[in-house]
Amino acid sequence: MEKIPEENSCKNIIFNAVLKKNPILVSGMVIAPAVMTADSFSSAVTLSAAFSLITFFTLLISSFVPKKIVYTIRIIMYAFIGALVYVPSAIALEYFIPDGIEQMGIFFPLLIINSLIVSRSESIFFLETKGKMMLDIIFCIIGYDAAVILFGIIREIIGSGAAGEKIIGMPVVFSAFTEPFGGFILLGAMAALLRVLLAFIKKVRQK
């Protein structure tokens, strides 16, 4: 029987952040940009880059905001730090991926108040030690990015019959999956599949 990792072990933090508590497929966070913009591999990569940059630096800087300040002010400070981080992030990403960023539209600046920054920061990240917090943030971001890229790839294949903008000759194409409602339905199906995978992992571990 495999030893179940301790609550605070590195392995457990990574497993929780990427799979068990995946920010989008389990916790239902930062859904809007994924559903609205990640309809292909390239758009999913753009979203992942924007999300990673803004979330990592905003959470990192926000972790230094003193707890003595009342929550009412702290939450405004987090959002303001997000808006400050957005400026260099927008300049950098517009330089490297101008078309992708233009396609994201308002969903790029909206990342400054994503659920990881507004909700999860206070309830989980800032309660941990700095080292553990960094590890948790990095793997939460990786978990989100991996899920969004997979979501974008599947959506592109079944919605446009293409992979990486190359037509792969799918016999049937369901263009509805490129629409927001198709995104919601696919996200639900992926979340259900992850549940099945997690139940399987649990079963294997118990054996």
Partner 1 sequence: MEIIKNILLAAFTSVIVENTIFSRALGTSTLILVARNRKNIFGFGISVTYITAVVSVLTYFAGKIFDLSGDSYIYAPLVYILILGAVYILTLLGLWRFAVTLFVKIRKYIHMSAFNCAVLGAMFIISKYCETFTDYLVNGIGVGLGFVLAVYITAIVYDRIYSEKVPYSFRGFPLMMIYIGILSMAFWGFSGHIANY
- The answer to whether 118 contacts partner 1 (rule: CB under 8 A) is yes
Whichever of 84 and 170 has its CB closer to partner 1, that residue is: 84
Give the chain as a 3 state SS string: CCCCCCCCCHHHHHHHHHHHCCCCCCCCCCHHHHHHHCCCHHHHHHHHHHHHHHHHHHHHHHCCCCCCCCHHHHHHHHHHHHHHHHHHHHHHHHHHCHHHHHHHHHHCHHHHHCHHHHHHHHHCHHHCCHHHHHHHHHHHHHHHHHHHHHHHHHHHHHHHCEECCEECCCCCCCHHHHCHHHHHHHHHHHHHHHHHHHHHHHHHHHC
Contact with partner 1 (CB under 8 A) among 4, 69, 193, 201? 193
Whichever of 1 and 172 has its CB closer to partner 1, that residue is: 172
- The answer to whether 180 contacts partner 1 (rule: CB under 8 A) is yes
d(CA 33, CA 73): 27
- The answer to whether 95 contacts partner 1 (rule: CB under 8 A) is no
Q: How far is the CB of 8 from partner 1 (least distance, A)?
A: 26
Of 45-53, 136-144, 150-158, 177-185, the segment contacting partner 1 by CB under 8 A is: 177-185
- The answer to whether 82 contacts partner 1 (rule: CB under 8 A) is yes
Contact with partner 1 (CB under 8 A) among 168, 189, 201, 202? 189
Site string for partner 1, 133-172 (x = CB under 8 A): ----------------------------------------
CA trace torsion 61, 67, 72, 76 (10° rounding): -10
Closest C-alpha to 45, from 180, 129, 150: 150
Contact with partner 1 (CB under 8 A) among 91, 171, 172, 204? 91
Whichever of 106 and 168 has its CB closer to partner 1, that residue is: 106
Q: How far is the CB of 131 from partner 1 (least distance, A)?
A: 28
| Binding residues vs partner 1 (CB under 8 A) | 26, 28-32, 35-36, 71-73, 75-76, 79-80, 82-84, 86-87, 90-91, 106, 109-110, 112-115, 118, 176, 179-185, 187-189, 191-193, 195-196, 199
